[in-house]
Amino acid sequence: MDYAIEIEGLVKTYPRFALDHIDLKVPEGYVMGFIGENGAGKTTTIKTILSLISPEAGQVKVLGKRPEEALSDVGSVLNGSCYPDGLTMKDMQFILSHQYKNWDSKEFARYLDMFSIDTKQKFGTLSTGMKMKGMLAAALSHHAKLLVLDEPTSGLDPVFRDELLGVLQNYMQDNGNSIFFSSHIVSDIEKISDYVTMIHEGRIVFSETKEELLDGYRILCLSAKDMGLANKKKMIGLRKTEFGAKALVRTEDFDDKKYTLERATIEEIMLYWIKKEEARR
């Protein structure tokens, strides 16, 4: 299998945080959603993929090359990044057309039109959502083989978020294109991802296909009476409820004829894992 992104043993240390031997693989032709709470290490991981920071150990390959060699084939939007306030999209078109060898002015104009962005308006005067749309238009306009998007849907209204997910699905129609994107809006990840990776305090908690996650986990609902019977070692993040308790469990670990098992959303799977990790500390 070819990989759009291959990360092995990645270590990056800050005074109060460390990416701790991260392994992560995004197969070519698939969408990987990257989730985790604030400060978990998503942007730091993405910065290494985009060659914006250098790790202390480990290996990162992007489209089979070193990250700095793959940049022209990667479309990216980084959380919090912005074009200079005084420049218009027309100015940016000029700059970007010199930066990317496959820059497509027609495609850029088409996206700006689709996103209703006035090419003559200064970037600094655009709303947060419009700024994001402008940067996404640029990321999509140089025939990138891989999109790396750090929270592309943050600051966007539900209507545009839906439109954007449609644009990303359309981008995936081209054979071999891949997307790696982080979001706090886990329902967006659930909608379009083939794979989901969760990071917590600089460590990967899981990295699986969406189906493996949705089929592989259930929420076990226990009455107060059943509490003593079930195997607590097999529970992930036990939560007390009015009637007993709930916990995330592996589907195969509990018999659905004996116990009440509910399907879990990816957001619930993430929240139970965080609870488990917190209890471990």
In angstroms, what is the minimal distance from the CB of 209 to ligand ATP? 22
In angstroms, what is the minimal distance from the CB of 162 to ligand ATP? 22
Nearer to ligand ATP, 36 or 67 (CB): 36
Nearer to ligand ATP, 36 or 152 (CB): 36
In angstroms, what is the minimal distance from the CB of 172 to ligand ATP? 24
Neighbours of 176 (CB within 10 A): 12
Nearer to ligand ATP, 36 or 55 (CB): 36
Question: 234 and 250 in contact (C-beta within 8 Å)?
Answer: yes
What does the block give as tokens for 60? 């990162």
Residues 6+ apart with CB under 8 A from 112: 89, 119, 134, 137
Question: 215 and 209 in contact (C-beta within 8 Å)?
Answer: no
What does the block give as tokens for 27? 């197969």
Nearer to ligand ATP, 82 or 109 (CB): 82
Burial letters 136-168, b for 16+ CB under 10 A, else e: bbbbbbbbbbbbbbbbbbbebeeebbeebbebb
In angstroms, what is the minimal distance from the CB of 9 to ligand ATP? 18
Nearer to ligand ATP, 51 or 72 (CB): 51
Contact positions vs ligand ATP (CB under 6 A)? 14, 17, 36, 38-44, 79
In angstroms, what is the minimal distance from the CB of 155 to ligand ATP? 13
Alpha helices, DSSP H only, in 11-155? 42-49, 67-70, 89-99, 105-114, 128-139
Residue type, 69: E
What are the φ and ψ backbone dihedral angles of 34, each rounded to 5 degrees? -120, 115
In angstroms, what is the minimal distance from the CB of 44 to ligand ATP? 3
Nearer to ligand ATP, 14 or 94 (CB): 14
